[in-house]
Amino acid sequence: MIALSVAAALAIFVVYTALAGNGVANLSPSTVAGHAGDVSLVGTVVGKPHGNSYNGGMRFLLKDVRSKDRARVAVVYRGTVPNQFKAGRDVVVEGTMRNGIFVAKPGSMITKCPDHYAPAKSSKT
């Protein structure tokens, strides 16, 4: 009976952690405006980033991933920049909106790997 109770509690914990995640909302540039508190911003880097990520912050724009939506969000980021960071790359940064600019937490940037999937070529011609 005790083992069954422990198993049930463990199952509830696993389901809770899978559904709750880290408690931070994942938003896109078109949906981040007006949100207070910490969020994860997911988007594609637009244009050329400028500034220094250690001295004053690197600044860049993000747009929605694979969307024709014209929404753009200015981001200021401080900290280590992943090697794969560049224009056109999908990234995730965690932070808050302040006066219309997304202020990312230092060291929170993650670049998303591009999809390398390509359907297999058919042997039939």
Domains of the chain (ranges, CATH numbers): 24-111 (2.40.50.140)
Name the residue type at position 64. D
| pLDDT at residue 120, rounded to an integer | 54
Query: Which residue from 67, 66, 53 is spatially nearest to 112, judged by alpha carbons?
Result: 66
| pLDDT at residue 16, rounded to an integer | 44
Pairing of strands 72-77, 57-63: antiparallel
- Mean pLDDT per 10-residue run, the chain (125 residues)? 55 45 80 91 95 93 90 95 93 95 96 64 54
| 54 C-beta neighbours (distance < 10 Å), count | 12
Which residues sit opposite 52 in a β-bridge?
56, 57
| pLDDT at residue 119, rounded to an integer | 54
Long-range contacts, 114-122 (Cβ 8 Å, 24+): 114/89, 114/90
Which residues sit opposite 93 in a β-bridge?
41
